[in-house]
Each structure stands twice: as structure tokens, then as C-alpha cells.
Structure 1
Amino acid sequence: MSFIFPAIAISGALMMLGPLLIHLINMMRHRRVKWAAMDFLLQSYKKHRNYVWLKQLLLLLARMAAMLLLGLLLAGMGCHSQISRWLEGNVTHHYVLIDDSYSMNDNSGSGQTAFDRALRAVEQIGNRAATLEGRHEITVLRYSRAGGGKSNSPDGDEEDVDKDKKAAPAEALPGTADTNKNLVAQAFRMADVAGEIVDEEFQVFWEDRSQGMTPTELSVGPLGVLQVVRAVIGESGDQQNVVYLVSDFRRQDWDNASEARSVLGEMHESGAQVELISCVEAERPNLAITALKPEERTQAAGVPLFMTIEVKNYGKELARNVQLTVRTSFYNRSDEVDGDPQAIAADPDDLPVVLIPEIKAGEKVTRRVQVYFPAAGRHVVEAFLPPDACPTDDRRFCVIDFPDGVPVLLIDGDVNQENAYFANSIFNPSFLQDDLKDQDARARSGVKPQVETAAFLRDATLESLERFRVIYLLDVPRLDASAVTVLEEYVKRGGGLGVFAGPNMNLSWYTTNFYRDGEGAFPLPLSRDAGLLADPTVDVPDIDVTSHPIFESFNTERNALARISSIERYLQPPAEWVSGEDSSVRVLASLRNGDPLAVERRFGDGRVTAFLTTMSPLWNNMARRYTLPIILFNMQSYLESSAQGKEDRVVGSPLNLQVESARFTKDVDFVAPSVDGSRMVIEKMGIRPEENSPLMNSSLGGRENDGQRSGETDRSGVYEAWLFALDGPPEVRRYALNVDTDEGDLAISDSKQLLEYLDAAKPSMVQWDEFIEDPEKQAGANVSLAVLGILIALLLGEQALAYSASYHPTRGGVR
């Protein structure tokens, strides 16, 4: 038995003795008087004595019971004894669902996170249930255990993607049977506490079980865990069910949670009670790094590269003087030769702090930072902010592959290879600086051109072309059909193709075989070569450019580059040709007569850009001015970016590898970041998908055989995969996993609107501090109404009994 106010309960027990004391005092006041008529009354009294004593005794007991019930009512007695069994049922199952997404790392400033409060709420739920009689069981399930986070990573990782930012339902888990019994069994395997009987030792039990529990770095919604519990409740029989959602109830998860609302409504219809416990009192300001990526420029060792960093203010107030720190981590390839993942260490370098004067509420700011790595390798760039309300999204990582140089293929159709000469002099100035013995003194662009004739493409395979980031066709007359097929497949897979015109081009062949009525890779048909007549009466540049990365240096107020460039001849398309607005073809630059000069087409995953004039100064003066080097470097960066790949892996997504069994052993060592910053090595084995397959698959993260998430990639940071070659040093691949920054939006759902939105479930909602401190909720199910009803009935009975036991003369009788 439990009481809200135990002192009043003791007072009520003492008050019960009041009627007895009053009765005894009245007995002491009686006086014995003998008179003649007493003999007749004694005879009547003896005849009805037992009946009178019984009524007097019942009256005394009723008054004592009334005083006791009044005391219990004021003390707030909790459900106990057989009454509680009748009121609460024989078995009550408490399902506690804890939000452990990284927004629960919100620190109120007191050193206690929202997740800490959630764990404390579980303790109080157990303590509350322990005060109730009947059988009480509790199941605790974290959001992340029922579903993974959102992912849009490459390399086939989309199989684990949840595009609605809700956790994947249990029914969709690999290896899960369609029957509810198997689903229930799997749900209890996911649970941190599964059907534990609640008793007075629960607090000690929970303190031990919750040791080490922390918020994850995932972005997980409530839908997955709700679907799991709904299935379990469907198999629970006649027991009573109470579902607690312990969360921070952010708008991003609940303002449009139609599926979660439907599941909660179904739970209510099945008889379950729903309680919402909010662990956050107020919305706090939060900054997050939402992007860290290299600009679309040539990425090569020894060539500076600009990084773009975006910082967003999720708060409602202006953020001032934000300090942004950028750190580079250089990995020396010589350290990897020994094949010991534990022995390798990066060489970090902190760049000067970037000060952002202000970030307006709800807005983003972008900053550019230049990084430099002297040697080839997969190096790391990291950006971070000072810790704030939610420190998880204050850090972001990026892994960039810096090769020794970017291989580029130049196919020159000119017999003297004049076009390749100018391209080579721009991409590889060192071949003009052979007299410089000091390699560091030579200019370095990062591009490594290889010059070939059109015959090179005749026997080329797709594998031989894929080692080149970009291929240039420079005044090439025509190509064999096999070369066109391979070249178009190369572009479809993300390769870049640049075409420069010239007098040797067979215009009919390009139109028929390379354009093919818009089905081929070439962006437009060609009609003839034409001259651009000079017009001294008009002060208009020959080139009119659009807003495009290739011509970003032309879009200045004075347009100086366009004014110093002159075009004498070019290839002209048919007069009726136009690029459609919805087409994959776009005109990037035009001549002053309106004809196109540069045209782009997106073909598959790659890009094709055609310049309808020469690279050499045969038809223009761009090679003799500053124009061609600027255009060519921008064009190289733009075409190369389509082949670089955009790695944007999210925490929780698996790392899936395919390795060649002819080159590597089946042993794969993954290195994952740990809490203390040490390198945690996880040993895996490569498995052939088929017996004679030349490839082996290995993965880190994802789901285990029983459908549970492994959690191996649930921490942001840099991961490594060590592949051990059969002959030679190991190959080390690095990957960056970052948090889903949408979770950093700490806006809280309005409690009143949320309850109206979830009205079908008839939930109750309480703040964490009220739930912890409210003695009525701690005492359990209060039976004040039942006690009050019994008290009223008892008082009415006491009055009737008192009236029956007292003397009442007949009205109108003789006095």
C-alpha cells in the first residue's frame, strides 16, 4: 500500500479511535436512578438486549470506519490489495519507447541531456509499477534498435536507405518472417529489457541495465519502433498495455507523422493506453555544419584545392562571431606498407580559424578554405564548431582522393598535333620547362595528359578508357563504330568528354553517327563551317556567355576576357536546330550573330561539351591570349567532376566492398572511430556471392543474420578498409560518415497541437520534471474516487443505523 501523504494516513488511523473514546466518555457520564416503573422497562430491555447491542456496535464501527476512510482519502491512498487487482487487471505490460536519436543529446546547460532524463523516466515508470499489485511487466526499446537512419550513400548502399527519415518497420527487416509470432520474437531480441517482471528491485536492475546507454548519432523517427510494438500488442492477449513514448518531440518527426499517428490510433483501439513524456522544456539555439565538400576542381597531389563549408543556424536568434576550425589529416602511404592498421597515424594540421561575423536565424552561410596535400593518398579534411546545445552536428568529415595526377587522354586529328601541343602546354607546363632540374620549381596543374591519335580508340576497351578522367577529341575527322560505342559507354558511366572543332572534322559523319538525331553523345548536328565577319560599327564582344562554371571568369562587370577574344571561323548547326528547354542539351556560349559556340549535353552520368571552334589558334585567337587556359582548366574541372563521384555517406549506412579475389586475400580489416579517439579494428572476411565468382563481398554495418542492426557504423568519423594484396602492399580505402544534419533542427512540437493531431490515440502528455516530481504519478493508480464513494455510502448507512438505534416518540401521542 502507498500514500501520497503518509503522515495524514497515520493521522487517519488515530482518528479512527475518536468515536470509541467518545463512546467511553459518555458511558462514564451515565447515573443509575431506581424508580418503580423500571421493572417493566427491564423486562423489555432483557427481551431486546442483544438486538440493541448489535445496532450500537455496528453504529460505533461505522463511525470508526468513516474516520479511517476520511484519513485515507486525505492521504491519497494508492491502489493496493484485491481492489487494485480488480481495477488494474491481473497483468499490465508497460512498453517504454526511448528516443535515442542524436537530438536527444540536447544539453540543458545543467550537465544533463534529454537522454539522461529519458533514462530517469524509465526508472520512475518502473518504481510506479512496483507499487501496484497484480503482475506488471516492462519492455524497454530504443528507437535505433527497431530501425536504421537515413542514408543516401553510393556503392549500392541504398538497400539500407530510409528516404522518409523514419525508421524502417520491423516487417521490412531482412530475415523477418511474415508471421506475428516471429515478429514478436524478433522484437524482444531488439529490446533492451524484454518482458521483465517489475518488483521493488527494479531500480537497481535498471541502473545496471542502463549503464553505458548514450544517444546514438542516428536520425531515427518513431514509426519503426511503434510498428514493432503494435505487432507485439496484437499478440498480447487480454493483458492491459501501456505505451510510453519518451522523446524530445521535435517538429521534424511529429508535425507530419501521419503513419505514426495511424499506428498509435490502432493501439488505442486495441485497448492500449498511450502516454507521452517530453524530455525537453524549451527549444535551444543550435548551429550545424551542413556541408563540407571540395569544389569542382582538379584534385591532385601538390595542387591546392578549395573546400566549401556550409554552416546553418537552426535557432531563432542571430548567431554572432562563430568560430569555424578546419583541420587537415595527411596520411603517408609509406606507413601503410607494413600492413598494421593499428600502427598508422595521420599528420594533423589546423588551419587558421575562420570567423563568421553573424548567421541569421534559419539561414546558412558558406565559406571557402584552401587545403593542400603534398603527396598522393586518400586524405581527410575535418571542420568543427565550438560545442553548443547539440554538439553531435558540430563536426563534419570529408575524405578526398588525391592521385599523383589526373590522367587525361588527348586524341588529336591534326597530323602535326598542333591542338595537342597547346593543350599539353596548358595542362603540363613542365614539358616546356625541361631545363628546370628542380621538380618543385616546375609549375604543376595536377593534370597528366597522354597524347594519342584516333587509331588509339579503334582497339580501346571500356576498362582502358576508364582510367582517364576526361577524354578530348581535338579536330578528329571520324571514329570507328566500335570506338563510338565504347566512348559513349564511358560517358554514360560518368566520364567526361570534350570536343574541339577543326577543318578536319567530317560534319556529315558527326551528324549521322555521333549525334544520331539526338540519341548519340554529341550534342548537336553540324551543317558547315562558317566565318564570323567583323563589324567595326558594333562594340559587342564575339563571345556571349551564360552563367556556367566553364565561363565563370567571363561573367564580370567589364567582361574583359570576352572582349579580348575573337572568333574567325566556327562550325554552324542547321538553321532549324534549337536546344529545347527540357532537353539535356544546353548552349553555354554564343557568338554575337546568335549561333552557338559551346554546347553541353548530359549523357547518362557523364557530360559532353563541344566547342565549335579550334583549340589551336587556327580559327581564333584564344590560345594566344589568356582565354584558352582559363576555359580549358574550367572545362577540365567541370568534366572531371562528373567522374569524381559524390560520397555522402550517412551515419548508420553500411560500407559494402567488392574486391577481386585474384588480387586480394579474403581477410579485410575495417578500422572504425571509437569514443576515446583510438583506432578500433574490426576483422571481416570476404565472401564469394557464387562459387566461381571473381569477386568477394565484405561489409561493415548493416544488419546481422537475425535482422538486428549491427551498429558498427553508428558513429561519425573516418572509416578505413584494409585490403591485403596477394602480392604487394595492402590497399587502404577511406570513407567519411557524417550525421544527418536535419536532426539538428531542435524546434519542438507544440504540445496542445500535438495532442490534437494524435487525438485518435487519446494520449496524455506530461513534461519530464512534472512526471518525476508529481507524487500522485509516483504513487501509482490513485483510488481516491473509490474511497470517496465508499465513504459516502458508509455515512449514509451510519445515519440510517443511528436513526434506527435511537428513540423517537410517535407524533400526536400522549405526553
Structure 2
Amino acid sequence: MDFLLASYRKQKKWIRLRQLLLLLSRLAVAAVLIAMLCGWNGGGQMLGMLGGTTTHHVVILDDSYSMGDASGGATAYARALEALQELTRRLATDDGNHQLTVMRSSRAALTLRGGSESGDSAADLSAQTVTSDSRLISRVMSTSASSLLTDLVPALDLATELIQSTPADRKVLYIASDFRDRDWAAPQRLAEAMRGISGDDVSIRMIDCAVGNAANLSVVDVSPAQDVWVAGVPVVINAKVRNNGPSDVNNVSLDSRVYHYPNEVTQPDPTLVTSGRVESLPALVIESLPAGEEVTVAFQVFIAEQGVHAIEVSLPEDALAIDNKRTCTLPLSDSEKVLVIDADPEARGAYHVASVLDPGSQVRIGAIPDVQPPAFLRSATLETFAAYRAVYLINIPEINENVADALDRYVRRGGGVMWFLGDDIQRDAYNRNLLSAGRQLLPMPLGETKPVAPSDEGTTADVVFGDSPELLAPLKTAGDAALSLIGLSRSWTLETPGLEATDDPNRPRVKTVLKRRDGNAFVTQHDVERGRVITVLSGIDGQWTNWPGDPTFVVFLLQANADLWSGAAPPTRRFIDEPVERTIALDQYAPQVMYLPATEQPPRVPIEMVAEPIQSDATAETVAQVVLDPMEMVIAGESNVSDLLQPGISEWAFTQTDGRRSIIPVASVIRSGEGNLKRADAAVIQQNLLPVDVRFLSSEAWNAENQTAGSSKLTLFLLGLLGLLLAAEQALAYWASYHTSSTGIGGGKRPASHLGAFSLRGAR
């Protein structure tokens, strides 16, 4: 025993070291097992940096307004953001160096339309290294579906530039969209853009963020009917509703409101949705609306105050909320003067025009005729015509060069001119002065006067509807029979334009409102820039036609007067992706202006600006202009561009030189086209995109994949490390344990402990 104890004292440190190593190896095995079971991959970035692999991830978020579809509980755009968040969370713990680029389709579209081809300007994130800092995508996560109608082609074009200019070992393109049938059923442009991206080093994954095919009703247009918009005169408002769903709907309620902006409303209120006084109108009901069809609902509004007011029409809530409401403005003026000049000494034609436009009694049309003799034209200038809303010229023998130039400038600014061409006009002078020097005051050069041949059967009307009878829309439903009492014996003809004139892009498009029985034009209509010209190829003094005595003449003249007024009428809506512009006279208003963008949830954030002085082309007065361009704001990186893109009623606030304030509403509306929520089939999309190889995933499958995905390299490393530790543990266990020696002294077998045998040898 003394001998054994002496041996143990000599070897005990070595024995304890082997036992400690065995304990540590077993603890290491337990730690690796726990890490693998918990899915730990915290060392992935370090391993990737050691390996030097860089992957560029480009995410295109479709934020067109159909992504606001909430038929699945959450909006499709919210699912797209969730997919981006899961991707970023995985990349933060995955192996390798990861760079992230995020681009929204709306910003890409505005960037390209603004003239910039820089992907960095359009991207919310551009090749940013992914870290564990969650603030990397916080700005993107705070966004929502835009109000724009756009496809993914601009985003794909700019993403191509970023992918090609950013060096990386691997490149992955993710497209998070709702894949609607309108874009992907025949994706030729999309396929062409994606072929520019695809390659051996780029993989494409499509994340489907929509759920099912939802039904949806849309208000696609709200506008006042073309008329003389005068305070105190009822105005018809037309609202067009479309059923984008797969089945018919019945008894659809349509609510409407009027937002009054009388002179008493002088202070904008940012705490309210609008500063105007709200008047709710009786609800309208659409009894039946077939699938895929549109219906126009008309209703009247009566506003006694002058100024610009606003109209809103809304549908009940459905899957897509943004197209359930639409607005327009209604600019109402006081009665305005129209100029009537008749060469007839008895002014018979002027009488017919004036009696229709101003019938007297209690009937108010809004036009105040100013009847003048032909001598009035001798000293007429642009300023002379600018005082009138429309000009009626009846059988004037000759229009000299100066008057023709003034009329041309008047029409191009938005004025309206109507010609009644009788037997006294000088054809050569008209053709020379009204159609020279770029003027387009006649539809075509005048030809000869031509009689209307009598009908063979005696029953065909002398005048019939033309190819574009919009001016007589109230009579069109009755057909040509409504014109059967109009007699016409003779009228001027128009020369047929030559081939060169037909191909001229500056030549106005001439519409034939009425034509003679033989097919020659009788009444034409054409536009010259902002203004409009209506030509009647006959006088109205009773020599060639009895039309002024027919009731259809009243309808025609009222419609024509409204048409002539429309050129100078201010716009009744602004598309949200168009610049917001306003011009003010500096002798009436201070240059400091305020713009309050539309919003659904106040408070509104005002944008204060200073108008820049410009020189007016029309007059010598100095005016100032202020412009807010969403395309320039996106390129400049301004954060408040999203406020400018909101549909609804926005407001201008001006300060007059006498200190008073005035508020003018602006109707900002979306472009219709994304209301149909029908989905495209993934297999059809993949087939149409060939040879581009894409992988389709639903947003749910994508999130599940990212949540369960870990680092493959780290997993293999841990598995190999576990094998090595288990082998080392077994070796150390054998080394530090007792065992039976295979042979004894003298060749005989005997049991002995490893420690005893070792101790005896050590003590010997």
C-alpha cells in the first residue's frame, strides 16, 4: 500500500488534468447540442467575413394604389413590408456580407418622369450593409401604399442600373407585388425589363402579397357638365361609377357633399379635413350595376355664392378604399359678357343669338350679350376681346389682318369664337387673313357656296347629325327626326385638305357637328390651343335657312355657348402626380402663399412658399407663379412629397394686398385604372416571362421560410464540431478511465487496473 500511495502521489496532477479535459469536452458537447437545438447562428457574419462572400439584395416594393387592397384583413402592401422585415431580420444573422437596396415603384416612376435615370435617387435604401440595427428599414416600414397608377417597368429599369453598378458575388432580386391581371396577363414590357436583369449571377424571387380576387366598386370620374358655370344657376354634376367585380351589384348607395367656400371663409383650418362649409346632399341609389360595366349618375347642385367650391362623391367601404371617393371643383362666376357683332343693318341674326342667351324674365343663363356694329372691329385688340367670354361674328364681310391676329391670340388663351357665314362674306379675304401666319380660325379654307339639292323622295331632312354631335347630345337620342323641320337651301362648302395638310401634326382636328343631306359639313368645331372655334356655314338672317325659328336652334346655341366658355374655364381637378401650379397678380396678392395638402386624418401640414415673379405673355402686368412638382421633390429627396400625392380636397391660402385672406380649394384625384383586383395566375406569368427563371412564393410562405432559415455554413460547422468533440470525449474517457490489461507478466493474462499497472511501472 505504501508503494501504491507513493505512485499515486507522483502521478496525481497528471490524472486530474486528464479528468479536467474529459469534463471540459463533455461540457463543450452539451453547449454545441444546445446551440443547434436553439437554431443559434450568431457567428454567421463573422464566418461570412472570413469567407469574403458578398450578396446584393434588391427589393422592389409595388406600392401602386391597388396594393391598398385589404380583402385579406391586412393590406397587400402591409404584407410586402412584413416580407421585407423578415428578409432583413434573416440577413442580419445570416452568413456573408449582405447589401440591401429597397425601391418603391411609385418613386421610380416619378424619378424617370422627372428626367432622372439615377437609381440612387429613386431608392429608399441603396446598397446599405445589413446589420442587426433595426433602424435600417424603419423609414420604409413607416410608408403605406401610394396613390399612383403605375407598373413595375420604371422600377425594374432603375434596379437594373443599380444591380449592374454594384459589385457583388451574388445578386438577388425580390419583387413584392399583388400581380394583378391588368399588368401580368400580357407582360411584354415587364418581361423585356426583366430580361435585362436576369443572368447567371442574378436570381429572381416573386413574393405574392395579395389574397384572392376581391370585388371592388370605383368612382372613376366626377365632373360638372359642360355648361355656363354661374352663381345662382343650377349645375349638373356627373358621377361615373364602375363595377370592377366578377358579379352584378344592386342598390348601391352614392353619397355626395358640397364644400362651400364663400367670401366669409378666409382662414384655413389645418385641424379639419377642409376649411369649407359642408352641405350633405340626398343620397343617390344605383339600382343595378352589371359586372365590368360603368354607369353615370347625374345630380344638380345649386350654389348662390361666387367663387370656387368643391363637390365630393363617395361609395360605401369595400376592399379598396382609395377609389371609393372622388372630388371636383366648381368655379362659379357672376354673369359675363359675350360680344355679338352682326353686319345686317337690322341685326336679325344678333337678335336670334341675344334672345337665346338672355331670354329675360326670371330665366337666367349667365351670359350678357353686348350687340355691336361691324365698326366695333376697326379698333379691336386683344384687350378688347379679353373683356368677353365669347365672341359671335355674324356675316361679317371682311376680317382684316389686325383683327385676325387679335382673335387668334384671344382664342389661344382660351376664348371662344363662333362664325355665322352668310352670303356677304368675302371668301378670299377670310382664307387669306384667318388661315395665314399660323392662324387656324377656320376649320379649312372656304370653297364655293353650294345649293342643297332637293330630296328625290321629299322626306329626307336637309340637315342631319354629323360624326361628332356632342353639341346636340340632348337631341341625339331622337335621331335625325329631331332635325326634320330645319330647311336649308344653300351654304358654304369647305375645301378638302391636301395630303400635306392632312399629315401636318399642327393641323387641328375638325369635328363635324351637323352636315347637309349630301354629306357636306354644315356646322364644325375645332380647338386652337386652349380655345375653341365653332363655324356655321350659313347665315341666320332667314335667307338660306329657317333654323333660327326651329326649337333645335335654342338647344344648339345654349350648348355651343357652354362649349365656347369651357376653354377659359379653370380646371376642375388635378391628378395627384401632376405639378400644383398657381399664378397670382402681384398688384392684388402678396407673394407669400400657403398650400394645405389633402388628407384623410388631420391635422394637415401646411407648405409655405413665396411666388416667383414672371412676366405675363398676355398683358404687361407682373404676375407671380408658384409650382410644387412631385417629380422634382422625389429627385431632391424631400420628405413631404407623400403629402402632395394624397387625393382629396387641398387648399390654397392667399393674402390680398388689403390684408384679407382668400381660400381656393383644389380637387386632387387619382388616375383610374387599378380598381380591377383580378389576379393573374403564377404559372401563366412564369410561362410569359420565359426564358427568365423566376421563383414564386406567397407572402406567408416567404415569412415562414425566413423564420426557419438559418446559416447553412454555420450549421455544417456546428455539426462537424460536434463530431470532433464527441470523438475527443471518447478518447479522453478511455485515457482517463480504468481498463483491463490485455497481457500480464510472463505472458499470462491477469486482471489489473490501469492505474495499478501504471503505478507499479511508475514506482519501479
Q: Deviations over 1:316-367 (max 9, x none)?
A: 222332222222222102333x788889832322333222233333222222
Shift of 1:633: 0.9
- Does the alignment pair 1:305 with 2:235? yes
Cα distance, 1:731–1:114 mapped onto 2, change above 3 Å: same
1:321–1:169: structure 2 CA closer, same or farther, 3 Å change rule? farther
Unaligned runs of 5+ in 2: 1-27, 727-764
Question: Which residue of the partner structure matches residue 171 of structure 1?
Answer: 117
1:427 deviates by 0.9
Match of 1:101 in 2: 64
Paired positions, count: 703
| 1:738 corresponds to 2:669 | yes
Matches within 5 A, 1:572-587: 572-573=492-493, 584-587=509-512
Distance in 1 (CA, whole Å) between partners of 2:634 and 2:319 is: 37
Once the two structures are superposed, residues 148-177 of structure 1 have per-residue CA deviations (whole angstroms, 9 ceiling, x without a partner) of 2xxxxxxxxxxx894xxxxx68526xxxxx
**Equivalent residue for 1:667?**
592
Distance 2:475 2:574 in 1: 35
Contact kept in structure 2, 1:579 and 1:587, CA below 8 Å: no
- Return the alpha-carbon distance in structure 2 between the equivalents of residues 234 and 577 of structure 1: 56
Identify which of 108, 111, 128 aligns with 1:195. Answer: 128
Paired residue for 1:708, among 634, 637, 642?
Answer: 637
The 5 Å alignment of 1:142-181 reads 142-148=104-110, 162=113, 170-171=116-117
2:313 maps to 1:393: no
5 Å-filtered alignment, 1:557-706, equals 557=478, 561-567=482-488, 570-573=490-493, 584-591=509-516, 596-617=521-542, 620-644=545-569, 648-688=573-613, 694-702=622-630, 703-704=632-633
Give the corresponding residue for 2:464: 544
Cα distance in 2 for residues equivalent to 1:170 and 1:518? 35
Tell me which amino acid in the other structure corresponds to 2:94.
L
How far the C-alpha of 1:715 sits from its partner, in A, is 0.3
User: Any idea what the Cα deviations from partners look like across 1:209-234, whole Å, max 9, x if unmatched?
Assistant: 56643222223433444444444444
Please list, as runs of the form range in 1=range in 2, the aligned pairs for 1:406-421 lying within 5 A after superposition: 406-421=336-351
In the alignment, is the contact (CA less than 8 A) between 2:339 and 2:370 conserved in 1?
yes
Q: Following TM superposition, by how much is the alpha carbon of 1:109 offset from its aligned partner in structure 2, in angstroms? A: 4.5
1:375 to 2:316 alignment: no
* Partner residue in 2 for 1:348: 278
Shift of 1:515: 6.0
Number of the residue aligned with 1:38: none
| Match in the other structure for 1:114 | 76
For 1:455 and 1:353, locate their aligned partners in 2 and report how far apart those are by CA, in whole Å.
54
Aligned equivalents of 2:191, 2:448: Cα separation in 1: 66
- More moved, 452-461 vs 292-301: 452-461
- Measure, in 2, the Cα distance between the counterparts of 1:577 and 1:227: 47
User: Do the aligned partners of residues 541 and 231 (structure 1) sit closer, same or farther apart at CA in structure 2, a change above 3 Å counting?
Assistant: closer
Deviates more, 1:82-91 or 1:240-249: 82-91
Structure 1 pair 495/208, CA: closer, same or farther in 2 (3 Å)? closer
Mean Cα deviation higher: 136-145 or 355-364:
136-145
CA apart distance, 1:385: 0.8
What is the distance in 2 between the residues matched to 1:668 and 1:555? 47
Letter in 2 for 1:641: S
Rounded Cα–Cα distance in structure 1 between residues aligned with 2:548 and 2:561 = 16
- Write the distance in 2 (CA, Å) between the matches of 1:570 and 1:226: 62
Q: Secondary structure at the match of 2:311?
A: strand
Q: Give the SS at the match of 1:389.
A: coil
Deviation, structure 1 residue 657? 2.9
Structure 1 residues 451 and 256, CA gap change in structure 2 (3 angstroms): same
Give secondary structure in 1 for the equivalent of 2:581: strand
| Residue aligning to 2:11 | none
1:522 is aligned to: 442
User: Aligned pair in 2 of structure 1 residues 412, 680: CA closer, same or farther (>3 Å)?
Assistant: farther
Structure 2 counterpart of 1:358, one-letter code = S
Report the equivalent of 1:451: 371
Distance 2:439 2:584 in 1: 35
* Alpha-carbon separation, structure 2, partners of 1:121 and 1:82: 21
Per-residue CA shift, 1:748-791, capped at 9, x if unaligned?
33222333444565433211111223477443547788999999
SS in 2 for 1:629: helix
User: What is the percent sequence identity of the aligned residues?
Assistant: 25
Distance across 1 between alignment mates of 2:271 and 2:719: 71
1:622-669 Cα deviation digits (max 9, x unpaired): 444423322211221233334436555322322123334444322111
Structure 2 distance, partners of 1:622, 1:794, is 108
Offset from partner CA, 1:195-222 (integer Å, 9 cap, x none): 25422x63xx479656643222223433
1:764 corresponds to which of 695, 700, 710:
695
Q: 1:744 Cα deviation (Å)?
A: 2.3
Once residues 761 and 785 of structure 1 are traced to their aligned partners in structure 2, the CA distance between those partners, rounded to angstroms, is 32
1:283 pairs with 2:213: yes
Match of 1:31 in 2: none
CA shift in 2, pair 1:503/1:774, >3 Å: closer
Q: Structure 1 residues 303 and 677 mapped into 2: Cα distance closer, same or farther (>3 Å)?
A: farther
**Is 1:125 the equivalent of 2:87?**
yes
Deviation of residue 399 (structure 1)?
Answer: 1.1
Give 1:365's match in structure 2, choosing from 295, 302, 319: 295
CA distance in 2, matches of 1:339, 1:456: 46
Where does residue 470 of structure 1 map in the other structure? 390
Q: In structure 2, what is the equivalent of residue 244 of structure 1?
A: 174
Per-residue CA deviations over 1:593-649 (Å, capped at 9, x if unaligned) read 766543445545543333344334565444444233222112212333344365553
Aligned to 1:755: 686
Question: What amino acid maps onto 1:644 in structure 2?
Answer: A
Residue of structure 1 equivalent to 2:411: 491
> 1:721-767 CA distances to partner (integer Å, 9 max, x unpaired)?
23333357555443221112212232333222333444565433211
In structure 2, how many angstroms separate the alpha carbons of the residues matched to 1:411 and 1:115? 61
For 2:265 and 2:204, the matched residues in 1 are separated by 57
Letter of the structure 2 residue corresponding to residue 106 of structure 1:
D
Q: Which moved more, 1:512-521 or 1:112-121?
A: 512-521
- 3-state SS in 1 of match to 2:644: coil
Q: 415-424 vs 74-83, which deviates more?
A: 74-83
Instruction: Note the alpha carbon deviations across 1:178-208, whole angstroms, 9 max, x for none.
Output: xxxxx65x467x43x9725422x63xx4796
Contact 2:86/2:707 (8 A) holds in 1: no
RMSD: 4.8
CA contact (8 A) 2:62 2:104 kept: yes
- Which secondary structure state, in structure 2, belongs to the residue aligned with residue 306 of structure 1? strand
Counterpart of 2:402 (choices 482, 499, 509) is 482
Scaled by the length of structure 1, what TM-score is found? 0.73
Which segments of 5 or more consecutive residues in structure 1 lack a partner in the other structure?
Answer: 1-64, 149-159, 163-167, 173-182, 434-441, 796-815
Alpha-carbon distance in 2 for matches of 1:517, 1:686: 35
